[in-house]
Amino acid sequence: MCSGVDTEPHVLTDFDREVDALRQLLSLKGLMSVDELRRGIEAIPEPEYHALGYYQRWIRSIADNLLRRGVVTEAELRRALAAA
């Protein structure tokens, strides 16, 4: 962690922008607070956490939180993943 900082600009991908926008919309609609997002990120097991990119952690936390709140059901997610 105490290595040099990569100060180069990185371009966001469409995936990054979409996850970012989705997070904002879920907050605005009262369906997931930013604290729930953070809780979900912190709950990712450490080896997986380090293997995932920034917005990859976000979508994993978003999915976890939507399931916890019942906004999305397990059955719906299984079906949609099979189609995705």
Partner 1 sequence: MSAPDDLLRVSAERLLVAIRDILAEKSIVSPAEIADRIAITEAASPAQGGRIVARAWVDPLFRQRLLGDGTRAVEELGVVMRGAPPLGVVENDGSVHHLVVCTLCSCYPRAVLGYPPFWFKSASYRARAVRDPRGLLAEWGTIVPAGVKLRIVDSTADYRWMVLPRRPEGTDGWDEERLASIVTAGDMIGVTIPKIA
Partner 2 sequence: MSLFSAGDPVRVRDDWPETGGAVHIRTPHYVRGMPGEIRAYLGRFPNPEDLAFARPARDLALYHVAFPRQAIWPEGQGDDEILIEIYETWLERA
Minimum distance between the CB of residue 39 and partner 2, rounded to whole angstroms?
Answer: 4
Residues near partner 1 (CB under 8 A) are 1-10, 12, 15, 17-22, 24-29, 31, 38, 41, 43, 48, 52-56, 59-60, 62-64, 66-68, 71-72, 74, 76-78, 80-81, 83-84
Does residue 35 contact residue 52 with C-beta atoms inside 8 Å? no
What stretches of 34-73 show up as alpha helix (H) in DSSP?
34-42, 46-51, 54-69
Q: Does 36 bind partner 2 (CB under 8 A)?
A: yes
Does residue 18 contact residue 12 with C-beta atoms inside 8 Å? no
Helix (H, G, I), strand (E, B) or coil at 33: coil
- Binding positions for partner 2, rule: CB under 8 A: 33, 35-36, 38-39, 42-43, 65, 68-69
